[in-house]
Chains A and B, each alone.
Chain A
Amino acid sequence: MTSIGTGYDLSNSVFSPDGRNFQVEYAVKAVENGGTAIGIRCKDGVVLALEKLITSKLLKHGANKRIATVDRNMGVVSSGLLPDGRHFVSRARDEAAEWRRFYKAPIPTSALANRMGSYVQVYTLYSSVRPFGVTSIVGGWDPESELPVDGQVGSGPSVGAGGKTEGAQHGGPFLYMIEPSGLYWGYYGAATGKGRQSAKSELEKLDLAAGNLTLEEGVKEAARIIYVAHEDSKDKDFELEMTWVSSLDGPTKGRHEEVPKELREEAERLAKKALEGDDDETDDKMEE
C-alpha cells in the first residue's frame, strides 16, 4: 500500500498528493471484512438479507437482530463495524422522526438516503473524527396511495380535484447503498461485506432492472445469494437474517418486518438444495 509511511493516511482532513483520502479507504477495508449484506429491489417490495457470522457459541440463536427498522416502512442493514452501524441506524431514526415533525408525513426513502449520505460524508472532513466503518443498505417502500398526514382528522372536500394531479404515480420500492465516503446510489440490487463479489455476480444474473422479480421470489433469491456468498468462508457458522417491506396491500402492508419464520426456512431449504445441486454439477464435471 502506497499510503504507508507517507503520513498522508494519518489524518482525515488531509488529501494525499494524488487526491485520495486514505482514512476513507481504510474504512472500506473494515467493511470488506464484515458479513455479507444484500438488498434486492423487487417489483412489489424490497428484501434485505444478512449473513450474520456467529462470533461465539454462547450467543442465543436468533437473538441480537442486526437489520433495523427506521420509521415504519424502511429497513437498514449494514456491514462493517457493528457499533458504527448502530449509530448510523440511530441517526437515521432521528432523521425520520425530525422529518415527521416537520412535514407530518413519513420520510421518503430517497430523502433518508440523501440525509444519511450527507451525514456520513461529514465524517470524512475533519481530523477530529474518523469515517464510518460501515456500508449501509437502506430499503423501503414509499406509500403508493395518498396517506393522511399525521394528525389529520378529516378527508377534505368530497368534490373537485382538491389540488391533486390525476393519474400521478407515487411511491414504490426503493433501495440505496451508502458507503463510508458518503457516496450513495440507488440500486436494483446491492451487496456489501466479505462476499460482495460473488453476491453481486449472482444479483446481476437476476435482471432486476426488468422489474419482473416478485417479492416472494426475491426472498428466495436473497437467501440463496447469502448462502452462495458464504461459500468462501465455509468454516464459520452463520445465521441468515432477512427482512422485507411490501406495498400497502402486500404481505407486510407497507411496513418493514422480519420475513416470517416459515418462509425464511423454506427459502433456506431451497438455498441449501441449490448449493448441493451446484456441488453435484461440479462433481459430475470432475468425474467427466
Chain B
Amino acid sequence: MNHLPQAWGRPRDDVYGAYDSSHLQTSGPNQHTQSPVVTGTSVVAVKFKDGVVIAADNLASYGSLARFTDVKRLRRFNSQVVVGFGGDVSDMQYLDRLLNSLDIRENYSSASDSPLHAKNLHTYLSKVMYKRRSDFNPLWNHLLVAGLDGEQKPFLASADLLGTTFASSTLATGFGAHLAQPILRRTVPDEDSVQKVTKEQAVELVKECMKVLFYRDARSMDKYSIAVVTKEGVDLKEDEKLEKQSWAFAEGIRGYGTQIN
C-alpha cells in the first residue's frame, strides 16, 4: 500500500493500466432508464360477474437469461385491489414502495371507512406513469389494476410506461396481448358477457392462457401467481404450477427438440 489513499483499493496502474474512471460521473447529465434490464413478461386478467382474476408468472429475465424464478409480480394493495406488473422489475419495486407509503398515509387520514378502491389506484398509478414519461424518465412497466370500483363492481384497467390508459373486460400485457387476448375474448367478448362468467370459469380461462403463454413465450415459466378479487377479499396464490400440459402440438414443429435437424 502506498501513501495515497485515493489509490487504495484500486487496480494498480502499472499492472492494469490507467484506471478508467469514465463511469464515475461527477458533473455529467442525469441518466434515465433507456431500456429495461431485468424484466417480467405478460400479465393476464379477466373480469367475471363477481370480480376479477389476474395472473402473472414468477419469472424475471435478464435478456434471454432466466435470472430470478421466484419473483412475485402481483401485489395485493388492500382487500379489494391487486396490481399486476410487466416490464422492468426494479421499477416495479419502486412502484411497490410507492404504493406502500401511499397505503400507510391513507390509513392515517381516513382510517378504514373509505379505503382506496381499484379505480382510485388506477387513476393514481396512471398519473405517476404519465408524469414520469413526461420527464423523460419513464417507469418501464405495463400495469394491470384489478379489483372492485367504488360501487363494488368489477374493475380492470391498464396503464403503461407512456401513461396510456384503457379499460376492458379482458386485458393482457406484453406477449399476452398477442396470445392471451384472443383466447380471453372468445369467452368474454364484451362487457355484457362478463355477467355470464363464473369465478371458476374465469380462473380456468386464465390458467389456460398461462399455459399457452408458457408454450409459446420463450421468456415465460411454468410457475405463476394468480389472484381472485371479489367482495370477500383477495385470494392470492403465489406458488402455482401449470397443470395438464400437453406438448403434443410440438411434435411436428422444428425447433422444439423432437427432431435432430
Asked if B136 CB lies within 8 Å of chain A CBs, one says: no
A151 pairs with B104, CB closer than 8 A: no
B108 pairs with A151, CB closer than 8 A: no
Q: Which of B64-101 contact A (CB under 8 A)?
A: 68, 70-73, 89, 92-94, 96-97, 100-101
For the complex, what is the distance from the CA of A155 to the CA of B72, rounded to whole Å?
Answer: 9
Q: Which of A57-100 contact B (CB under 8 A)?
A: 65, 68-69, 71-72, 93, 96-97, 100
Q: Which of A151-173 contact B (CB under 8 A)?
A: 151-155
For the complex, what is the distance from the CA of A84 to the CA of B75, rounded to whole Å?
Answer: 38
Question: What are 18 sample pairs from A and B whose C-beta atoms fall under 8 A apart?
Answer: A68-B108, A72-B104, A96-B104, A97-B101, A100-B101, A150-B97, A150-B100, A151-B93, A151-B96, A151-B97, A152-B93, A153-B68, A153-B71, A153-B92, A154-B70, A154-B71, A154-B72, A155-B70
Asked if A20 CB lies within 8 Å of chain B CBs, one says: no
**Which residues of the other chain, B, contact A151 by a CB distance below 8 angstroms?**
93-94, 96-97, 100
A69 pairs with B101, CB closer than 8 A: no
**Which residues of the other chain, A, contact B60 by a CB distance below 8 angstroms?**
153
Asked if B107 CB lies within 8 Å of chain A CBs, one says: yes
| Residues of A in contact with B (beta carbons under 8 Å apart) | 65, 68-69, 71-72, 93, 96-97, 100, 104, 150-155, 258
Give chain B's interface secondary structure class. Answer: helix
| Residues of B in contact with A (beta carbons under 8 Å apart) | 60, 68, 70-73, 89, 92-94, 96-97, 100-101, 104, 107-108, 111
B108 pairs with A69, CB closer than 8 A: yes
**Which residues of the other chain, B, contact A65 by a CB distance below 8 angstroms?**
111
Q: Which residue of B lies closest to A93 (CB)?
A: B108
**Shortest distance from the beta carbon of B203 to any chain A beta carbon, whole Å:** 23
**Which residues of the other chain, B, contact A258 by a CB distance below 8 angstroms?**
111
Partner of A153, one of B89, B108, B111: B89
**Shortest distance from the beta carbon of B56 to any chain A beta carbon, whole Å:** 11
B104 pairs with A150, CB closer than 8 A: no
**Which residues of the other chain, A, contact B70 by a CB distance below 8 angstroms?**
154-155
**Which residues of the other chain, A, contact B104 by a CB distance below 8 angstroms?**
71-72, 96-97
A153 pairs with B107, CB closer than 8 A: no
Instruction: Please give 7 more A-B residue pairs, beta carbons under 8 A apart, in addition to A69-B107, A69-B108.
Output: A68-B108, A100-B97, A151-B93, A151-B97, A153-B60, A153-B72, A154-B70
